């Protein structure tokens, strides 16, 4: 058995992406357990009854169930890029609350038939408009600095960008046509970063008995 922290993750989940990036930046190696959302392993629910990724199980049995908690824990251990200097709680809360609410309804309108009230197209586009308003605020902010909190990549940037990526990819032609030059440049830089590339390899879903998959910059 591995004595590394165990990270239950899903490659395309934006919450899991930001947790993996923080662990990688902090130089923390984990045992990665890739989860198939349609067939979650029982060990995930045993570790965390909410059974949603990411979940980090530390060597002492402590369980971290929220991506931001995982990020902050990792950076408390080691923060070589000073990400915690850019821990903007208010901005992250706005992203994880109102923006994520609109993102889900823009990307997956069929999941909310009671809210759509039979007019799915209008419902979807209304939430796209709400999401765009958030991006316009970010664009204004990025007009005066390279990153959301200043000149260097920090926690807020990494916490937000997987969700902006998901919003952009819902209709990339539409997104690219918007007047968001600073957000678009910021997003492209994060997508092209070595950090993002490092945490995005594909892995087979984990099942009990598999050889531990070691994941981290020092593996």
- Residue 11 is given by DSSP the state T
Condensed to tens digits (0 to 9), the pLDDT of residues 22-34 reads: 999 999 999 999 9
* Boundaries of domain holding 23: 6-80+197-215
- Domain match, 158 and 211 both: no
Domain total in the chain: 2
Mean pLDDT of the chain: 97
- Domain match, 75 and 125 both: no
pLDDT of residue 1: 47
pLDDT of residue 20: 98
pLDDT of residue 72: 98
- Domain match, 65 and 102 both: no
CATH number, position 53: 3.40.30.10
Percent of the chain with pLDDT over 90: 98
Condensed to tens digits (0 to 9), the pLDDT of residues 191-210 reads: 999 999 999 999 999 999 99
- Six token digits for residue 23: 């662990």
Q: Where are the beta strands (DSSP E) in 106-165?
A: none
Condensed to tens digits (0 to 9), the pLDDT of residues 102-145 reads: 999 999 999 999 999 999 999 999 999 999 999 999 999 999 99
- Domain match, 115 and 206 both: no
> Does any domain span residue 1?
no
- Domain match, 73 and 115 both: no
> Does any domain span residue 184?
yes
CATH number, position 139: 1.20.1050.10
């Amino acid at each position: 058995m591995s004595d590394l922290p165990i990270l239950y993750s899903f490659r395309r989940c934006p919450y899991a992406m930001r947790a993996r990036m923080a662990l990688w930046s902090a130089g923390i190696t984990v045992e990665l357990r890739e989860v198939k959302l349609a067939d979650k392993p029982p060990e995930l629910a045993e570790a965390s009854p909410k059974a949603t990724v990411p979940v980090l199980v530390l060597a002492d049995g402590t369980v971290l169930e929220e991506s931001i908690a995982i990020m902050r824990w990792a950076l408390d251990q080691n923060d070589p890029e000073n990400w915690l200097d850019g821990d903007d709680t208010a901005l992250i809360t706005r992203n994880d609350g109102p923006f994520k609410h609109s993102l889900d309804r823009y990307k997956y309108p069929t999941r909310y038939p009671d809210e759509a009230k039979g007019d799915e197209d209008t419902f979807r586009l209304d939430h796209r408009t709400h999401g765009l308003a958030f991006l316009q605020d970010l664009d204004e902010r990025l007009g005066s600095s390279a990153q959301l909190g200043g000149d260097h990549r920090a926690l807020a940037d990494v916490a937000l960008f997987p969700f902006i990526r998901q919003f952009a990819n819902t209709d990339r032609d539409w997104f690219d046509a918007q007047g968001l030059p600073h957000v678009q440049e910021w997003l492209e830089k994060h997508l092209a970063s070595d950090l993002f590339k490092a945490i995005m390899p594909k892995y087979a879903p984990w099942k009990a008995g598999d050889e531990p998959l070691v994941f981290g910059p020092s593996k």
